């Protein structure tokens, strides 16, 4: 889609925002469907599992910050994973008010299996559009936007 602006950039930015949000929603929904079908989880659960695989010992507050979501929602999500036997909470020796989160063996196995599905699905959905230099340019632009928003604490949940 060509983005046309009257000079101040607003119409182009609004159209780009619309496309960005709709693409994210469609991709997220497609990933949800595939992960649910193959592994019995949804994308948000996979993201928590993946993050804990990559950062064992993270706290709920760390995940909330990483995902820019509230601590309450993060804690509920971890509770669900814990009930299914995929995550355990261990006492935090540095702060008794919080716990350190770790994947169980079953959680690690699920994270690994789901990673393959996640990667395959993303490649299937985005591969023809974003490859090589186009992917590098888009990733760089999104990374810069994300860093700017994070530095400015834009969109940080208040609860």
Range of the domain at 59: 44-151
State residue 128's pLDDT score.
84
Does residue 28 sit within a domain? no
Placement of tokens 């990483």 in the chain: 66
Does residue 70 sit within a domain? yes
Does residue 97 sit within a domain? yes
Query: On the CB side of 81, how many CA atoms lie within 13 Å of its CA?
Result: 33
Does residue 121 sit within a domain? yes
For residues 47 and 58, what is the distance between their CA atoms, to the nearest angstrom? 13
Does residue 76 sit within a domain? yes
Does residue 19 sit within a domain? no
State residue 7's pLDDT score.
63
State residue 96's pLDDT score.
87
CATH number at residue 63: 1.10.10.10
Number of domain units in the chain: 1
Residues 6+ apart with CB under 8 A from 72: 159
For residues 86 and 53, what is the distance between their CA atoms, to the nearest angstrom? 11
State residue 130's pLDDT score.
83
Q: Find, among 22, 21, 73, 23, the residue nearest to 47 by Cα.
A: 73
Placement of tokens 């706290």 in the chain: 59
Cα first-last separation, the chain: 37
Within the chain, which residues score under 70 in pLDDT? 1-10, 159
């Amino acid at each position: 889609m060509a983005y046309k602006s009257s000079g101040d950039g607003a119409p182009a930015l609004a159209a780009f925002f619309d496309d960005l949000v709709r693409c994210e929603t469609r991709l997220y929904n497609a990933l949800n469907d595939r992960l649910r079908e193959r592994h019995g989880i949804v994308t948000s659960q996979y993201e928590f599992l993946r993050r804990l695989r990559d950062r064992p010992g993270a706290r709920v507050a760390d995940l909330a910050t990483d995902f820019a979501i509230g601590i309450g929602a993060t804690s509920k999500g971890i509770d669900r994973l814990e009930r299914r036997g995929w995550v355990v909470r261990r006492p935090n020796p540095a702060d008794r008010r919080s716990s350190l989160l770790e994947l169980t063996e079953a959680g690690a196995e699920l994270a690994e299996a789901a990673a393959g599905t996640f990667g395959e699905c993303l490649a299937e959905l985005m591969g023809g559009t974003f490859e090589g230099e186009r992917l590098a340019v888009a990733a760089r632009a999104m990374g810069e936007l994300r860093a700017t928003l994070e530095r400015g604490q834009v969109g940080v949940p208040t609860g």
